[in-house]
Structure 1
Amino acid sequence: MFNEQVLALMEKAEKVVGERMNEIDRLIDRNQWKVIRAFQKFKVSDYHFAGSTGYGYNDRGREVLDLVYADVFGAEAALVRPHFVSGTHTIGTALFGVLRPGDELLSITGRPYDTLHKVIGKPGDGLGSLQDWGIGYGEVELLEDGSPNYEEIARRITPRTRVIGIQRSRGYSWRASFTVEQIGEMVRFVKEIKPDVIVFVDNCYGEFTELNEPTEVGADLIAGSLIKNPGGGLAPTGGYIAGKREYVELASYRLTAPGIGGEVGAMLGTTRALFQGLYLAPHTVGQAVKGSVFAAALFAELGFTTHPRWNDPRTDLIQAIRFTGPEHLIAFVQGIQQAAAVDAHVVPEPWDMPGYEHPVIMAAGTFIQGGSLELSADAPIREPYIAYMQGGLTYSHCKLGVLTAIQNMIDRKLL
């Protein structure tokens, strides 16, 4: 399957990262225990897994799922639903829930992820975006070292600023993802300037990569996708919002309708998978983090620049690898696809994907369509040609994907 060069690289990388893997195992234990304690606290039983139809009135499984999520995330309340179609939808619901015409959203971690650009929109765009509804938007670029520009943030906060936006993950940018500790520092800074400001964190890719979550260091509202970390690879769809009770309630009115909120919503047979996915999430996230560490060590050995490096602290799943041209990038992504258990025969090519500003190539041989807790990789075809690898339900699959990608690049005489 692999030539001797690739196997030698594998053995060398695994020796280098040995102690780092032990640290990740200890993280998995702590987060797994935290989730199980939440299940026990709310006496989760098999009758909670029953489905509901119609309005979904008195769906005790749905209600307990919200309570468990809130407890795990150290929040007052949570809204966990299969009705969220994506992370972007979930984030949009949270923002529209708490913002009103005349308010301002200020992103203090630079330009958000590409798919949110249309949610923010432009004044009068007719799409129903935030700015189309008269909600102002501003952003503060990060400093060259990737840290927040606190001086500029202080200058940009005005009486109109209702929500401060923080993106935990790097998105399609060459910067470090923010740790929970760093997010806590941002929260304290902006609250000193404007105590009533709502701090919202896009938590996608970050759940269970650390011992704590942003809601435990002062964030008022967080949101994420269930086909990423907290779904554990089993959630078939959905998203979650967690935080202060009043803000979660406002978001629930945006998801359904004012006066209805989270009191209704048939779960349509998804409840068991959402519970079990959360139960598995600390383990599967740990497997994916191990895969990212392995990939970083291996590509560093080959002379490529990786971010984060294999021994850097991690606060999300994403492993960025900078290539020297589009040929390397495309060969890498296609190699990840070749290692998939599902659709390994499919050859991904760059295409104009809805919500993105550049052609994107995406390896996504997954059981859940677009499930990025599963081994996947994607990249916009633009300089400086960075591939973003994430996920892997098992460390073994992560290794297979990385090694296949390298072998693919060797076979094409790119290495």
Structure 2
Amino acid sequence: MSLSWTDDLPEDLKTKVAKVEKLIQPRLEEIDQQVLYNQQRVLNLFRKHRVGEEDLVPSTGYGYDDIGRDKIEAIYADYFKVDDALVRPQFASGTHAISTALFSMLRPGNTLYYLTGTPYDTIQEVIGLAGNKRGNMKEYGINFSTTELLDDGSVDYENAEKALKADDNIKVVAIQRSRGYAVRDSFTVDKIAKMIKFVKSIRPDVNVFIDNCYGEFSEKEEPTFYGADIMAGSLYKNAGAGIVKSGAYIVGREDLVDGAGSRLTVPGAGKGEGATWGYLRDFYQGFLKKEKMSSKS
């Protein structure tokens, strides 16, 4: 006897549910195929990097020569098709990783430009748009500008082009993949690819940063496949499959990830430090199971 969540529903509601399930079945099958595709990529990477039991042994203290940490970062770099990665429990949140990446690239007098409109509230506090907390970008003399999205939630390319050409101090162009708390659709990878191409055609000198929170593994491709210079997200959302208890990741170009590592720890030690405590098993399990969990959300 099979059990279903619809068993206790009224008959008329069961009928409606059945119709909806039939209607969305093609999309569900498409998602299942995507899960299998991404899962195969993960398994291939685990084999390529020869993941073994020894990689689950955590480090303490400084965290020097942590082979399990270095290997999961190499796997992340391979998966996202980038040079390098930081995958660390020391990040308190996705916002912490985003802040670390941005601060590592920006200097007093530089401008951070958001192509996708004003970011969500925790990033606003990092920038200094809200809260006026000590240590925000505004206090360090880092400027901020943005072009708000059009009414339909799409990028205002006409005014964005003007903004990019008008300010030579723009050093980082940020793209927020998810809707955050706004009433708009999240941006798909193909739309982000168009944004990256647009920015690089006007300002090839800037670094394109992607806030990838909530977007990881929801498609077969990622923004880094299309030229994003650096990207960050949380480990206790999609990337951790609900298993990882703390942490976040940064992936991208080697020099930029190296700079983020120095910002996370200290210059000199950089990403060579940072103990993993008891988190390595969670990191590997989360990465292995992330496709299935992300598909269910």
Judge same fold: TM > 0.5, yes or no. Answer: yes
2:118 and 2:146 in contact (8 A); partners too: yes
Q: CA deviation at 1:5?
A: 4.5
The one-character-per-residue Cα deviations of 1:99-124 (angstroms, maximum 9, x if unpaired) are: 11111000010111221110010599
Give TM-score scaled by structure 2 length.
Answer: 0.94
Instruction: State whether structure 2 residue 54 is matched by structure 1 residue 74.
Output: no
Among candidates 167, 174, 177, match of residue 183 of structure 2? 174
For residues 256 and 142 of structure 1, what CA distance do their matches in structure 2 show?
36
Match of 1:341?
Answer: none
The one-character-per-residue Cα deviations of 1:170-209 (angstroms, maximum 9, x if unpaired) are: 1111212111111111111111111110000000111111
Q: CA deviation at 1:9?
A: 3.2
Instruction: State whether structure 2 residue 270 is matched by structure 1 residue 261.
Output: yes
The one-character-per-residue Cα deviations of 1:20-51 (angstroms, maximum 9, x if unpaired) are: 11111110011101111111111111100001
Instruction: State whether structure 2 residue 90 is matched by structure 1 residue 118.
Output: no
When residues 48 and 16 of structure 1 are mapped into structure 2, their CA distance, relative to the original with a 3 A threshold, is same
1:124 and 1:131 in contact (8 A); partners too: no
Match of 1:45?
Answer: 52
2:121 and 2:130 in contact (8 A); partners too: no
Among candidates 216, 224, 247, match of residue 207 of structure 1? 216
For residues 228 and 254 of structure 2, what CA distance do their matches in structure 1 show?
12
Among candidates 246, 252, 257, match of residue 261 of structure 2? 252
Instruction: State whether structure 2 residue 200 is matched by structure 1 residue 188.
Output: no
Instruction: State whether structure 2 residue 171 is matched by structure 1 residue 162.
Output: yes
Match of 2:138?
Answer: 131
Among candidates 58, 62, 70, match of residue 65 of structure 2? 58
CA RMSD across the alignment: 1.5
For residues 209 and 10 of structure 2, what CA distance do their matches in structure 1 show?
48
Q: CA deviation at 1:2?
A: 3.7
Among candidates 233, 243, 258, match of residue 224 of structure 1? 233
2:125 and 2:132 in contact (8 A); partners too: no
1:24 and 1:286 in contact (8 A); partners too: yes
The one-character-per-residue Cα deviations of 1:56-77 (angstroms, maximum 9, x if unpaired) are: 1110000001000011111111
For residues 13 and 121 of structure 2, what CA distance do their matches in structure 1 show?
35
For residues 81 and 88 of structure 2, what CA distance do their matches in structure 1 show?
19
Q: CA deviation at 1:125?
A: 4.0
For residues 12 and 262 of structure 2, what CA distance do their matches in structure 1 show?
57
5+ residue gaps, structure 1, are: 289-415
5+ residue gaps, structure 2, are: 1-7
1:123 and 1:134 in contact (8 A); partners too: no
Give TM-score scaled by structure 1 length.
Answer: 0.67
Alignment of 1:12-411 (within 5 A): 12-122=19-129, 125=132, 127-157=134-164, 158-288=167-297
Q: For this pair of structures, how many residues does the alignment match?
A: 288
Tell me which of the two structures has the higher relative contact order, counting C-alpha pairs closer than 8 angstroms and 6 or more residues apart.
Answer: 2
For residues 59 and 120 of structure 1, what CA distance do their matches in structure 2 show?
33
When residues 18 and 124 of structure 1 are mapped into structure 2, their CA distance, relative to the original with a 3 A threshold, is closer
The amino acid of 1:91's aligned partner reads: I
The amino acid of 2:265's aligned partner reads: T
The amino acid of 2:172's aligned partner reads: V
Match of 1:7?
Answer: 14
For residues 13 and 66 of structure 1, what CA distance do their matches in structure 2 show?
41
1:230 and 1:281 in contact (8 A); partners too: yes
Paired-residue identity, %:
46
